[in-house]
């Protein structure tokens, strides 16, 4: 039954999806996009890989989550486009205000280093570190291949580490070629 | 810095942990997803007050469908108390995603797509060819979804609410303002180029007279 399958899926994915969105958008946007993501999941419940027929126990998060992250990613991109420049500016202002106290102080350097990566590199790194996905799962979430993800992740991690190392003033010249590793 | 150190630093900076957002209410979200019918805003009596301002805007290359009329389900919809996920009328595209927030029972749903254009002020004659014409007030703007309260139907409709979904790659061109008044014309569910325009009180009187409403 569709409804039971959806409820089972929601129990497993809602909280990880919420965290996924919180990491990439304002609290308000995260909530809006979460609702939209669930509507898409409901509509496409038959397409969710690894969900089975729902008669069994709840689905394994490792099976269903990467695909669901992909849906949330698309919904977030849609929302960003839809909001337009005006709202993006507003959101940026809000986000700056929200994050200023905690993140700028404690993790500003790391976020700056993340921001220096290309969008695709950054997303791969975040999916690896924060969502805890393996390259195969990252590939599923981003519509790439495991091989390409592995290479991208390897390079992005090296660049990030180099960036952080440089900022710390440690080991000048170490891994000096990393800045050139392209996307 | 090796992989483990990098991972530890990244994890420590995880915004999902450092930000104090309340956890989502799963049951409520599920319920909201399955049950997307919301009550219709009451229809205001009397002529709306209008600021002496005119917004001309165009909806170019409109492609869309007249999706909903007279209480037929749209998008993701199910009766929470009864059928248990029976109704899943799927409209395709992105419309279903928005139905939860603003679709009202009996609402007319229109879709617009496209950019902007310089539009001449609409006249009763210029809108003559459209089977669907109404004067409405914007009651909410959420993303690309603009909800109108219909103040006066001039032609071809009875719904009290119209939801215009601009599923477009250039939504910033659709500059509706909450609380402002518009005249909207559509054909086959399509809001065409220059099909939605801001109107003043004078315009409203003029159109109502011209259509005898």
Instruction: Answer yes or no: is pLDDT of B62 > 80.
Output: no
- Considering only CB atoms, which chain B residues are within 8 Å of A128? 7
CB spacing of B24 vs A157 below 8 angstroms: no
Give the start-to-end residue ranges of the domains of chain B. 53-211
For Cα atoms A157, A161, A163, give the angle at the middle one, nearest 5 degrees. Answer: 115
Count: domains in chain A? 2
CA nearest to B58, candidates B150, B184, B207? B184
Domain identity same for A130 and A99: no
CB spacing of B30 vs A10 below 8 angstroms: yes
Domain identity same for A92 and A139: no
Residue that wins the pLDDT comparison between A125 and B74: A125
Q: CATH number, domain at A180?
A: 1.10.10.10
Q: Which of A84, A128, A168 to mutate to test the interface with B (most CBs of B within 10 A)?
A: A84
Domain identity same for A171 and A102: no
Q: Which domain holds residue A33?
A: 1-106
Domain identity same for A91 and A122: no
ipTM of the complex model: 0.77
Domain identity same for A94 and A36: yes
The topology under which CATH files domain B53-211 is: OB fold (Dihydrolipoamide Acetyltransferase, E2P) (2.40.50)
User: What's the pLDDT at A139?
Assistant: 95
Domain identity same for A151 and A96: no
State the nearest Cα–Cα gap between B171 and chain A, in angstroms: 6
Span B21-43, pLDDT tens digits: 788 899 989 988 887 533 333 33
**Average pLDDT rounded to a whole number, residues A59-81:** 91
Q: How far apart are the first and last CA of chain A?
A: 44
Q: CATH number, domain at A52?
A: 1.10.1740
Coil, strand or helix: which one is B23?
coil
Residue after which a domain boundary falls, among A84, A106, A128? A106
Instruction: Answer yes or no: is pLDDT of B70 > 80.
Output: no
Domain identity same for A91 and A138: no
Residue after which a domain boundary falls, among A106, A131, A166? A106
pLDDT band at A155 (very low <50, low <70, confident <90, very high): very high
Q: Are B152 and B208 in contact (CB under 8 A)?
A: yes
Domain identity same for A38 and A120: no
CB spacing of A11 vs B26 below 8 angstroms: yes
Domain identity same for A95 and A145: no
Q: What single-letter DSSP state applies at residue A182?
A: -
**Average pLDDT rounded to a whole number, residues A112-137:** 94
Quick one: residue A181, left, alpha or beta (phi over 0 = left, psi -120 to 50 = alpha)? Answer: beta
CA nearest to A41, candidates A69, A21, A63? A69
Residue after which a domain boundary falls, among A106, A139, A167? A106
pTM for the predicted model, two decimal places: 0.51
Domain identity same for A97 and A113: no
Instruction: Answer yes or no: is pLDDT of A96 > 50.
Output: yes
Domain identity same for A100 and A28: yes
- Considering only CB atoms, which chain A residues are within 8 Å of B33? 6, 10, 35, 38-39, 42
User: What's the pLDDT at A124?
Assistant: 96
Domain identity same for A92 and A112: no
CB spacing of B10 vs A110 below 8 angstroms: yes
């Amino acid at each position: 039954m569709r409804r039971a399958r959806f409820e089972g899926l929601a129990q497993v994915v809602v909280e990880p999806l919420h965290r996924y969105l919180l990491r990439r958008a304002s609290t308000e946007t995260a909530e809006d996009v979460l609702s939209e993501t669930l509507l898409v999941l409901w509509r496409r419940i038959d397409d969710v890989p690894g969900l089975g027929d729902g008669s069994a126990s709840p689905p394994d998060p490792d099976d269903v989550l990467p695909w669901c992250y992909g849906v949330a990613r698309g919904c977030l991109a849609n929302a960003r486009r839809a909001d337009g420049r005006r709202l993006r500016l507003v959101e940026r202002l809000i986000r700056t205000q929200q994050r200023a106290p905690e993140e700028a102080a404690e993790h500003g350097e790391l976020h700056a280093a993340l921001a220096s990566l290309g969008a695709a590199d950054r997303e791969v790194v975040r999916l690896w570190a924060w969502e805890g996905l393996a390259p195969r799962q990252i590939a599923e979430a981003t519509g790439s291949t495991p091989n390409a993800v592995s290479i991208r992740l390897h390079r992005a991690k090296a660049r990030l580490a180099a960036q952080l190392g440089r900022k710390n003033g440690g080991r000048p010249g170490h891994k000096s070629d990393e800045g050139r590793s392209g996307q | 810095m090796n992989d483990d150190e990098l991972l530890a630093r990244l994890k420590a900076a995880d915004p999902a942990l450092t930000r104090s957002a309340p956890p989502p209410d799963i049951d409520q979200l599920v319920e909201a997803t399955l049950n997307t019918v919301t009550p219709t805003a009451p229809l205001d009596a009397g002529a709306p007050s209008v600021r002496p301002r005119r917004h001309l805007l165009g909806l170019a290359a409109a492609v869309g469908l007249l999706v909903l009329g007279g209480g037929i389900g749209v998008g993701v919809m199910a009766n929470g108390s009864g059928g248990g996920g029976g109704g899943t009328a799927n409209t395709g595209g992105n419309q279903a995603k928005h139905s939860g927030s603003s679709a009202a029972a009996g609402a007319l749903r229109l879709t617009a797509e496209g950019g902007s254009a310089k539009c001449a002020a609409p006249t009763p004659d210029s809108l003559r060819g459209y089977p669907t014409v109404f004067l409405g007030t914007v009651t909410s703007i959420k993303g690309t979804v603009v909800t109108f309260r219909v103040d006066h139907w001039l032609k071809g409709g009875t719904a009290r609410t119209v939801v215009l979904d601009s599923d477009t790659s250039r939504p910033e061109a659709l500059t509706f303002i909450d609380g402002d008044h518009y005249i909207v014309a559509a054909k086959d569910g399509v809001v065409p180029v220059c099909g939605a325009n801001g109107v003043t009180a004078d315009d409203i009187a003029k159109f109502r007279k011209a259509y005898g409403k």
